[in-house]
Amino acid sequence: MPPAGSPHDRHSFLVLCDLLVHYLPATDDTWHGTARQGLAIIGWVAMWHPLDIYLYRWWPVLVREQVYRNLSVMQVEVSCAS
């Protein structure tokens, strides 16, 4: 099971909110309309962190990838000091 707060949890929460929106009656009643819109907004706000990474924070991931690539091909010499 993924740790709490993982992207898997966020996706599950969005799906839950979406299901609740579809099961609330689509009437002209103010309460139902407010509840439907509120659930949709809360579900998408919970997804903001994963979207933030995909939209704006991808470049540090690329930099880290290049560092790891460089580390994977560098030569290492191990010596024993006595």
CA–CA dist 60, 10 (Å, integer): 22
What pLDDT, in 10s, does the model give residues 2-22?
455 565 676 788 788 888 888
Range of the domain at 47: 7-73
Identify whether 1 is part of a domain. no
Three-class secondary structure of residue 5 per DSSP: coil
What pLDDT, in 10s, does the model give residues 32-82?
788 888 888 888 887 777 777 777 777 888 889 999 999 999 998 999 987
Buried b (16+ CB within 10 A) or exposed e, 61-74: eeeeeeeeeeeeee
Identify whether 68 is part of a domain. yes
Identify whether 44 is part of a domain. yes
pLDDT for 65:
93
Identify whether 56 is part of a domain. yes
What pTM value is reported for the model?
0.47
